[in-house]
Chain A
């Protein structure tokens, strides 16, 4: 029962995707080009975010800790 429901829901979702992107009216080979392009773009976005976001986050953390956190370290150093 649940499987059927999920299947229906997915096919409805795909239908909405077809309608909104207008691939509903494209010919099958155009549709596959469009889907390929879209999937490639999304995959590249995901991959590049997987590769670069952690680095950027780390760099940002270091940068901000350099501004805010550096103060603490130096005060500690002075006290000792």
Chain B
């Protein structure tokens, strides 16, 4: 317990993943969270509840942020949607919906040809398949701007990509290739955080040599003939990288979540899930058969209330205690760019003795001074997180996912998880790519290249976010998160932004409903360590140009700092271990 103790200023040195604080797993019942949190300062001295000390006002050498749980400032902003923009957005959707109804009417009366799937004549009397809102949306709204998605890429998706040019002559119902290639489009959309998506360099060389040795496919599962020495090596390395006892690697990141949560919890268990959790977590939670309750995004008051209710009330009707309570959170939320309030989650988890499942799909490699994810970012003890899940798909430029945790947990999963029993094991060249990339980040290849990349990413992120905010765009999320959502709001601007940016040779990802709430359409940039300052400057110039053209600079700098509210409802100091 008390991993968030002592040092606020001890983050400069190149320490390993274990935090240096000395209050880990203390058996003493009186060495409570309060003592660890306030450290050398007396709790009564500050006068504020929860040892809240205004940053840097009294103590210069060591700063406590946000109630002493955080060792670094935690800036997260979600600027309010301006009222006029919201009204105009709804109006736009209204117009498109009206035209959608008109087109559906025309298709129904055979005035125009219907291009998309419909029920067959003999199925007309059954439950309709294509009549819900999402089908209406796909047919009448998404189709109009479909050219912004699924563009075929024909090169390595590094910091620059080549895109196959295509055109449509029936308003996006079908596409034809012109045969030309748009060369050197700047890639602001891949999750290539550390720039390991390369076709040259150490990673590519070593994986190609492994390809020559092992081939590409394994053709068996881990439990049968597919357990290669490369996989064992990878798992040991992952465990070392994370600072946990053991780890397990899978060939698919999505399935790591959706197949392992059912192995961990079941009927009679409770899952507390963040409302913005990824689809894989949602699917896993539903497949498990456990009761699912949703807490507000990154809102610890909401989480604590659910935890309290769960413990007080127990299961519905029978009021038996829950078998297990599993809190499911992500490290970086990929649509909001926010970072989980891990110190608070861990404090709550300890207080209420729940389990914690942390999905580091976006944060592993991309956050923290050593690139070891959100645990490293906050300087916490990885052993406080029961299940550390993450993917190799993003920062490591590979594919697949891992689960790290105690030896007991990993042995249990190795036996019981569907992913180990039924999934084909990871392709050896991919495993080698991950091993090389991970060793590079850890500095075990004898170079400082990995550390440079991690630092470059952090620098790029801060620069990019700061410049965009200065330009007056509404940017969501944490100031340290490499996922940068830029708000577009209006449906026509989704399409216009993607097209205008591609015209200026920059590839971006634009996102609308159903991935976001209907009015909060956005463009999502992913900053990479492979982007140079010149590239970022060029991209920023172009974004600003398009922003002026489309009138996207909505910001009125009315930030809603979420952590400025008082810690009235959470009572961390009552924690007894």
Binding site for B on A (CB under 8 A): 12, 15-16, 18-27, 30, 34
Which of B92, B145, B171, B496 touches A21 (beta carbons < 8 Å)?
B92
CB distance from B357 to the nearest CB of A (A): 40
Give complex CA distance A23, B496 in Å: 12
Kindly list chain A residues whose C-beta atoms are within 8 Å of the C-beta of B88: 20
Interface flags, B139-173, vs A, CB<8A=1, else 0: 00000110000000000000000000000000100
CA gap between A66 and B71 in the complex, in Å: 76
- The answer to whether residues A19 and B550 also contact, given A25-B96, A25-B144 and a CB cut-off of 8 A, is yes
A26 CB contact (under 8 Å) in B93, B99, B496, B551: B99
| A-B pairs with beta carbons under 8 A, tally | 44
| A20-B490 in contact (CB<8A) | yes
Other A-B pairs beyond A19-B551, A22-B93, A22-B96, 10, CB < 8 Å: A18-B492, A19-B492, A19-B550, A20-B91, A20-B490, A22-B95, A23-B95, A25-B145, A25-B492, A27-B171
Interface residues of B in 495-547 (CB under 8 A from A): 495-496
Answer whether residue B225 sits at the interface, using C-beta atoms and an 8 A cutoff.
no
Chain B interface bracket (under 10, 10 to 19, 20 to 34, 35 or more): 20 to 34
Is B428 engaged at the interface, CB distance under 8 Å to the other chain?
A: no
In the complex, what's the smallest C-beta–C-beta distance from B89 to chain A, in angstroms?
9
CB distance from A18 to the nearest CB of B (A): 7
Contacting A at CB under 8 A, from B92-115, are 92-93, 95-96, 99, 102
CB distance from B41 to the nearest CB of A (A): 55
When the two chains form their complex, are residues B171 and A20 in contact, meaning their CB atoms are under 8 A apart? no
Interface residues, chain B, with chain A CB atoms under 8 Å away:
88, 91-93, 95-96, 99, 102, 144-145, 171, 490-493, 495-496, 549-551
A21, A23, A24, A25, most chain B CB atoms within 10 A: A25
- Taken together as a complex, chains A and B put the C-alpha atoms of A34 and B102 apart, in Å, by 12
B549 to A21, Cβ gap below 8 A?
A: no
> B495 touches which one: A15, A16, A23, A25 (CB < 8 A)?
A25
Q: List 24 A-B contacts (CB under 8 A).
A: A16-B551, A19-B492, A19-B493, A19-B496, A19-B551, A20-B92, A20-B492, A21-B91, A21-B492, A22-B95, A22-B96, A22-B490, A22-B491, A22-B492, A23-B492, A24-B495, A24-B496, A25-B96, A25-B144, A25-B492, A25-B495, A26-B99, A26-B144, A27-B171
Partner of B492, one of A24, A27, A30: A24
List chain A residues, Cβ under 8 A from B495: 24-25
Q: Give the complex CA separation of A19 and B495 in angstroms.
A: 10
**Chain A residues near B99 (CB, 8 Å)?**
26, 30, 34
CB of B549 within 8 A of CB of A22, answer no
B-side contacts of A26, CB under 8 Å: 99, 144
Q: CA A42 – CA B148 in complex, angstroms?
A: 34
Q: Look across to chain B and name the residue whose beta carbon is closest to the beta carbon of A26.
A: B99
**Complex interface: chain B residues within 8 A of A24 (CB):** 492, 495-496
B551's nearest neighbour on chain A, judged by CB, is A16
Smallest CB-CB A-B distances: 7 pairs: A24-B492, A25-B144, A22-B92, A22-B492, A19-B492, A22-B95, A22-B96
Nearest-neighbor residue (CB-CB) of B548 within chain A: A12
Q: How far is the CA of A18 from the CA of B549 in the complex (A)?
A: 12
- Closest-by-CB residue of A relative to B95 is A22
A19 and B490 in contact, given A24-B496, A25-B96, A26-B99 (Cβ under 8 angstroms)? yes
